[in-house]
Amino acid sequence: MAYTEQEVDLLPEELKKAKTNLIGILIFMLIFFAFIKFFFWDNLLSDIDEMIPIVIFGVFFLLFLAVLGYIMRGFILDFFKRKKQILTGIITDKHIDITTSHSSRGGVRGSSGNKTTTRRTYYLYFDDKKLPVDASIYGRMSVGMEVEIHYSKYSQTVFYSRVIAEAKISEDNIKAIVPDVDKHQNFVPKERELQMTKADFELLKKARNRAIKNRIWVVVVLGWVVIGSLFSGLWLIPIMLFPFTIWWFLAFRKIVKYILAYRKEVNTGMKVVYSELVLDKFRHTGNTRGFFIRTNYQLISVNESNYEQLRMGDLIMVFKGKATDWVFGFMTSDNELYEVKSDAKLKKK
């Protein structure tokens, strides 16, 4: 097991925080019921003759009330039971759930607008134990660290957290990423140039095709509207759809940039190889999905199988094209070349 848990009583300051949480959720519930009573029930529902809108509203109200009741139950039990868990263990994984919702709202003089809300929920894993935390704790703690976290037993509110020990990294791996020093005491990065292999060209080709595939529907669909309108003499349409026109232009520019970058790298045929240490890793779910490793130099998007294999402190060899600084792959200690899934950061020309 990567962790142990101990149940103890809440400290006075923690009990005060639990009381504050309970009062806060009670105030929110009172405001919610007052809003329903005076706005919907008195003003809207009284004027509705059909049952369908009332049924839809009732279902929504009950669902929201169930969620609110579940949250409130945790705060009530925290306050009356007065218990917390002290978790001590090694973080085995990290997870961000990102949910984006879109809503429309009325504006001045009948105009309307769209509002986008993004909600992020952060989790730390200790083997099969999944603990929600706030963004500051999530950012401060990395996979492989031994930590201690105090949280309420029922609502899982975190009261206290600390890092007991950093992730273990071998001295040899640390030395591999430390730059050399020349006779003038200037740092010399440990990079070397090598000839690209057939496998390198295949990874570059896959990255180019993926970049095109991710944007081609924007170029084609919006192209019918933007470019088609220009050729038809309807200049007003691209102006009215100005944000979409800019979106089409940026997507088209990115596709051209990747095509030209691929051609440059193939013509040059050289890659730059350097070492990096894996310092953290995490996964995204929700509207944005992906698997990421954080090194001492950059954030790299990988596929799921590579994500599961990599451990904190692993030394990887990162490959980038000499002509455009296109980071296209990396190699682990098993001498297997893996694909980098994120968009390449090409050198600006």
Per-residue pLDDT of 142-174, as tens digits, reads: 999 999 999 999 989 999 999 999 888 877 777
pLDDT of residue 103: 58
pLDDT of residue 348: 44
- H-helix or E-strand containing 272? strand 270-286
Average pLDDT of the residues in 9-30: 88
Binned at pLDDT 50, 70 and 90, residue 349 comes out as: very low
Average pLDDT of the residues in 192-217: 88
pLDDT of residue 125: 94
pLDDT(232) > 80: no
Q: How far apart are the first and last CA of the chain?
A: 52
Lowest pLDDT segment from 164-173, 218-227, 235-244, 308-317: 235-244
Which segment, 38-42, 172-176, 291-295, is predicted with the most confidence on average?
A: 291-295
Binned at pLDDT 50, 70 and 90, residue 26 comes out as: confident
For the chain, how long is the longest CA-to-CA vector? 88
* 23 vs 72: CA distance, rounded Å: 10
Contact between 93 and 125 under an 8 Å Cβ cutoff? The reply is yes
Alpha helices in the chain (DSSP H): 12-35, 52-81, 135-140, 171-177, 198-231, 236-240, 242-268, 304-309
Contact between 98 and 120 under an 8 Å Cβ cutoff? The reply is yes
pLDDT(246) > 70: yes
Average pLDDT of the residues in 78-90: 93
Average pLDDT of the residues in 335-340: 78
Lowest pLDDT segment from 42-46, 78-82, 161-165, 222-226: 42-46
pLDDT(213) > 80: yes
Number of helical H runs and strand E runs in the chain: 8, 16
Residue recorded with tokens 């595939």:
213
pLDDT(111) > 50: no
pLDDT of residue 184: 59
More confident residue, 253 or 221: 253
User: 214, 248, 267, 253: which is closest to 349 by C-alpha?
Assistant: 253
Average pLDDT of the residues in 126-139: 93
Percent of the chain with pLDDT over 70: 79
pLDDT of residue 87: 95
pLDDT(47) > 60: no
Helix, strand or coil for residue 75?
Answer: helix
* Amino acid occupying residue 299: L
Average of per-residue pLDDT values in the chain: 81
- The tokens describing 74, both together, are 């945790």
pLDDT(85) > 90: yes
The tally of CA atoms less than 13 A away on the side-chain side of residue 187 is 6
